[in-house]
Amino acid sequence: MGMNITQKILKSHLLEGDINSKEQITVSVDQTLCHDLTGIMAAQVMESVGAKGVYTEASVFYCDHNTIAADSANSDDHRYLKTSAEKYGIYFSKPGNGICHFVHCQQFAKPGKILLGADSHTPTSGALGMLAIGSGGLSVAKGMLGEGFKLIPPKVLNIVLNGQLNPGVSAKDVTLEILRLISVKGGLGSIIEFSGTGIQYLSVPQRATIANMTIEMGAITGVFPSDDITKKYLEAQDRVGDWIELRADEDASYDESLVIELDKLEPLVAKPHMPDIVDKASALGDVKAHSVFIGSCTNASYADIVKASKILKGKKVHKDVDLTVGPGSKQVFEQLLKDGVISDLVDSGARILENACGPCIGIGQVPPENGVAVRTSNRNFMGRSGNNSASVYLVSPETAAATAITGFITDPRTVYDVSLLASIEEPDMYKVDNCLLIEPQAEEARASVDVLTGPNIQPLPMRGVLDKTIEAGIVLKLGDNITTDDIIPGGANILKYIANIPEFAKYTFCYTDPTFVKRAEDMGSSIIIGGENYGQGSSREHAALLPMFLGIKAVIAKSYARIHKENLINYGILPLVFRSNEDYDKLDAEDVLKIADVPNAVKKSTIQVENITKGYTFEVGIEISDYDRDVIHDGGALNYLRNKINSKTNS
């Protein structure tokens, strides 16, 4: 039997286990990426375990999320990351070089390799035929330290893209269509592999748009074959030497498949507040937009922005709309400048932002009260724009441009002869200039580097060993699809505390329940109840770390998003699973629950929970690997790593 791409890459990187089993495997990690929100954690872990350097082919710290440095907390973080990169032999991508996933595709992504990234949109590099997986900073630090990455062998979902997109319909519409069909939970436990006659018409940046949002589908990652299109892109980046051909064997099998006819698609829109609430742009009626943003790691390629500029050319931005455009990287920005695209955009009334995440995560361009923001980014969760009353709609660059002109969400085919967009392509040769990418130094030079901190960079809080008994009240009972943005929202004012846990913790669940922090503190120890897909969204490990800091001992949910479950384990919070919906229904906030003999209980897959308040006992599952049981047993991954290092030193 032939192999699919996922099986080929996993097999060639296998360190432990069997990829055909249901048991956890360990694979080696070739590359890692972190950024200014997640890299601090990773660097603190490197420091706390006394690391001398990284064991990967390339590890990169990108400064791309919070780049405005509204106060020194932010610039201290940047300096800490830069000096840590210098200390540990890590590439440092300076602010202005671009969004991590964009620059990673340009500069590092390689077919057949494994990338572990401390960001949930790491799958973007799957556009180049690599397995690019998102995880928390702590897991990525383990990857940098040569510990590999652990995962349950995934199911492989083959999404067959047949035919060719019509002009005015874009890769973003493909990804929104998949979300419409399979939902934000459709990819749970799977890697999505793309194939079909249509992929030959999709450039690497278009493939990147689709791979990028496989995390929104709940998938581990998404991967495209490495073919002539990949080769052309790598030639244009002056690194064709990194190309290898990589395809699924003809007789490869998949766990599931889904066929999408690209020529049947129309411009689509994800409506508030989930990326899978998708409708046709033409069917929306009059949705008045206050702001439009063309950018983010999903849709800020050269061709994306040129298409938007063509639609806007000779017209003006609607008087009630604020249009901002953020190119994905310095490379894209320079090409747009060279080709006069930026001046066309400025002429139309667009404001040009720096090459960074910015509005996507509420860092700038926060919509007004009850405002409507139309964005080419990937998430429209409540509160993510920095304003809990705003509504965010996700669209393609073409739809965004049309909307900026009319002031209402608009199908681009109604305002422009979209056949004129068909010839717009990526450049044959990009300008490769790495002046904002600092290369790692030789090992001898690294020893003398001082890692510079600042008053806002506080030591990582540690937790003790696992409690013998958990007797704790329910502090919060939540529904389905709770996102990490619900747990700890974005926005410049909040994210500036990323390295200061006591301050950052004050914002935990601040939009969902402003009384949460006070109540959690008063309770001392507590438990959170969740529904399906708890912790979907970002890799933000603070969504586990802050609850740990506030005394949360366990979460009991119907199911979990993979990265968040990994993060809960890393921070020693029990990720327990309801065995029945009835058990979920019977619980109320403030019920006091008890788990006896926890160290022994976590060794088994079923745990008894006593509801002391209501006087009954129910069973929950703990579906984790033996390795994860050891980590939980030690009170989290930091304790586990320390114990491991100490026992090595003592033996």
Residue 38 Cβ, how far from ligand MIC at the closest point, in Å? 5
Give 465-499 as a DSSP string. SPPS-EEEEEEEE--S--BHHHHS--SHHHHTTTT
Residue 119 Cβ, how far from ligand SF4 at the closest point, in Å? 5
Structure tokens given for 285: 């009626």
For ligand SF4, which is the closer residue by CB, 243 or 381?
Answer: 381
Supply the DSSP symbol for 21.
S
132, containing H or E segment: strand 131-134
38 binds, among ligand MIC, ligand SF4, none (CB under 5 to 8 A by kind): ligand MIC
Q: Is 16 helix (H, G, I), strand (E, B) or coil?
A: strand
Q: Name residues whose C-beta falls within 8 Å of residue 103's C-beta, 6 or more positions apart in sequence.
A: 60, 62, 64, 93, 97, 329, 331, 437
How many residues belong to the site for ligand MIC (CB under 6 A)? Answer: 11
Q: Name residues whose C-beta falls within 8 Å of residue 447's C-beta, 6 or more positions apart in sequence.
A: none
For ligand SF4, which is the closer residue by CB, 357 or 607?
Answer: 357
- Integer Rg of the chain from CA: 24
Q: CA of 473: how far to CAs of 192, 512, 590, 592, 636, in Å? A: 39, 18, 5, 4, 22
Residue 254 Cβ, how far from ligand MIC at the closest point, in Å? 27
Q: Which of residues 363-422 bind ligand MIC (CB under 6 A)?
A: none
Question: Given its phi and psi angles, is residue 490 left (phi above 0), alpha (psi -120 to 50 degrees) or beta?
Answer: beta
Cα gap 572→629, rounded to integer Å: 10
Q: Interface with ligand SF4 includes 453 (CB under 6 A)?
A: no
Q: Interface with ligand SF4 includes 378 (CB under 6 A)?
A: yes
For ligand MIC, which is the closer residue by CB, 134 or 575?
Answer: 134
Cα gap 557→347, rounded to integer Å: 51
Specify which residues 252 forms β-bridges with.
2
Residue 299 Cβ, how far from ligand SF4 at the closest point, in Å? 10
Site pattern 454..483 for ligand MIC (x: CB under 6 A): ------------------------------
At 378, give phi and psi (nearest 5°). Answer: -115, -10
Structure tokens given for 8: 């080929």
Q: Interface with ligand SF4 includes 377 (CB under 6 A)?
A: yes
Give 50-103 as a DSSP string. T-----SSEEEEE--SS-S-SSHHHHHHHHHHHHHHHHHT-EEE-TTSB-HHHH
Q: Interface with ligand SF4 includes 539 (CB under 6 A)?
A: no
Cα gap 471→345, rounded to integer Å: 60
Residue 42 Cβ, how far from ligand MIC at the closest point, in Å? 11
Q: Which of residues 292-321 bind ligand SF4 (CB under 6 A)?
A: 296-297
For ligand MIC, which is the closer residue by CB, 77 or 119?
Answer: 119
How many residues belong to the site for ligand SF4 (CB under 6 A)? Answer: 11
For ligand SF4, which is the closer residue by CB, 35 or 110?
Answer: 35
Residue 462 Cβ, how far from ligand MIC at the closest point, in Å? 21
CA count, 13 A, side-chain hemisphere, 590: 2
For ligand SF4, which is the closer residue by CB, 297 or 557?
Answer: 297
Specify which residues 373 forms β-bridges with.
291, 392
Among 37, 138, 204, 274, indicate the residue that binds ligand MIC (CB under 6 A).
37
37 binds, among ligand MIC, ligand SF4, none (CB under 5 to 8 A by kind): ligand MIC
Q: Which of residues 119-158 bind ligand MIC (CB under 6 A)?
A: 119-121
Q: Interface with ligand MIC includes 538 (CB under 6 A)?
A: yes
539 binds, among ligand MIC, ligand SF4, none (CB under 5 to 8 A by kind): ligand MIC
Q: Interface with ligand SF4 includes 361 (CB under 6 A)?
A: yes
Binding region for ligand MIC (CB under 6 A) out of 124-132, 303-311, 531-539, 611-619: 531-539
Q: Which of residues 91-130 bind ligand SF4 (CB under 6 A)?
A: 99, 119, 121
Among 360, 395, 620, 632, indicate the residue that binds ligand SF4 (CB under 6 A).
360
Cα gap 452→68, rounded to integer Å: 20
For ligand SF4, which is the closer residue by CB, 121 or 633?
Answer: 121
Residue 499 Cβ, how far from ligand MIC at the closest point, in Å? 12
Q: Interface with ligand SF4 includes 221 (CB under 6 A)?
A: no
CA nearest to 311, candidates 400, 219, 196, 202: 400
Residue for token pair 């009626």: 285
Among 31, 38, 203, 376, indicate the residue that binds ligand MIC (CB under 6 A).
38
Among 539, 567, 570, 611, indicate the residue that binds ligand MIC (CB under 6 A).
539
Cα gap 230→263, rounded to integer Å: 23
Q: Interface with ligand SF4 includes 324 (CB under 6 A)?
A: no
Among 8, 540, 553, 633, indicate the residue that binds ligand MIC (CB under 6 A).
540
Sheet holding 149-151, edge to edge: 14-16, 25-27, 149-151
Residue for token pair 């990287």: 329
Site pattern 50..69 for ligand SF4 (x: CB under 6 A): ---------------x----
Binding region for ligand MIC (CB under 6 A) out of 103-111, 535-543, 573-581, 586-594: 535-543
Q: Is 210 helix (H, G, I), strand (E, B) or coil?
A: helix
Binding residues vs ligand MIC (CB under 6 A): 37-38, 65, 119-121, 361, 537-540
Binding residues vs ligand SF4 (CB under 6 A): 65, 99, 119, 121, 296-297, 357, 360-361, 377-378
